[in-house]
Chain A
Amino acid sequence: MKYLDIFNFSKYSFDGIKSYENVILYLNRHWFVMFGKFLAFGLLLIVPFVIYAVFGEAIVSMGIDNLFWLIVSIYFLFWWNSLFYAITMYLLDSWIVTDHRIIDSEQKGFFSRTVSELSLSRIQDISTHIVGPLTTILDFGDLEIQTAGAEPKFVFKEIPGPNAVKSKIMVAHNEFVSMHKGDVEVHEGIGKGLM
């Protein structure tokens, strides 16, 4: 039953995690971002039933009700795939904060994936943007990390509780800087020394 381990493996393991690294935060966009899409998919789900309610008699009188329900079931196949495509894109668009680095993983379709990484030592400034009444009530928004140098900003888009996340990243940054004087990776140094 080794293959079933994927359902109970450590909560936040990911490709390329280092043995000495601990995940502090794993973030996806706020659930409300998906809410609108779920609403649209919910409406699309009832469309065939509405069509049948309106044109049902005509469909039956033409003797094509079997064909109609076949087309509806094919429509549901597409609906099911589209729904899970949206969920897949939502789940794979994520941000990970570890006690050593920040990883931004953006999925823009099946074959377009961008993964960027930033060491905690390179953080210069963090700002949050919560704009609008709904985002204020539900407490979600953008978080921008300004890095040292001319690198582009790291943006966490529509994440829940951006201010709390900002505080946690600042604490992690301070701890990292105090433990890694001169930006030297102490863990890798110990590993190399033992070898």
Chain B
Amino acid sequence: MSPDILSKIPVGQIIVGAFFVFYWIQAFFIIYHLVRFGIGVKPKVVALIYFVGAIILYTLVSSGVSQLSFDGLAGLFDGVVNPDFMREVDPFNMISK
């Protein structure tokens, strides 16, 4: 795979997307268990409160993510990671050219 194709893959969005999928699967399990196995009214009310809270938090986070520029984030790590270093090192022999 050429480096150009790799650079076009939106890694940030994929990670955030996978995180949200994981979050909603977990949310489903919590609601399912409370409604399916809970005895009496209390677990159902708890499931409703959880669901409403989960939607509110999810809306906040997803609006935050949509306003965030993943390209801009890379600039934050300029001082930490030197991309030139990667170009100068042979990844197979680890011999500096």
Taken residue by residue from 33 to 48, chain B's Cβ proximity to chain A (1 for < 8 Å, 0 otherwise) reads as: 1110111111111101
Within the assembled complex, what's the spacing in Å between the Cα atoms of A24 and B33?
A: 24
- Which of A41-49, A63-71, A154-162 interfaces with chain B? A63-71
Whether B38 lies near A66 (C-beta < 8 A) is no
Of B35, B37, B58, which contacts A6 at CB under 8 A?
A: B35
Of A7, A64, A87, which contacts B76 at CB under 8 A?
A: A64
- Which of B3-11, B24-32, B88-96 interfaces with chain A? B24-32
Of A7, A11, A67, A88, which contacts B68 at CB under 8 A?
A: A67
Chain A residue total in the interface (Cβ 8 A): 34
**Chain A residue at minimal CB-CB distance from B19:** A74
- Residues on B with beta carbons closer than 8 Å to the beta carbon of A105: 37
Chain B residue total in the interface (Cβ 8 A): 33
Our count of residue pairs bridging A and B at CB distance below 8 angstroms stands at 83
- Identify the interface centre among B23, B54, B61, B73: most chain A CB within 10 Å of its CB: B61
**Chain A residue at minimal CB-CB distance from B45:** A7
Q: Given A69-B64, A88-B30, decide whether A77 and B41 contact each other with a Cβ distance below 8 A.
A: no
Whether A73 lies near B42 (C-beta < 8 A) is no
Whether B40 lies near A26 (C-beta < 8 A) is yes
**Nearest CB of B to A160, in Å:** 15
Q: Given A73-B60, A74-B61, decide whether A81 and B44 contact each other with a Cβ distance below 8 A.
A: no
- Across the A-B interface, give the 3 residue pairs with the lowest CB-CB distance, nearest first: A70-B64, A84-B50, A73-B61
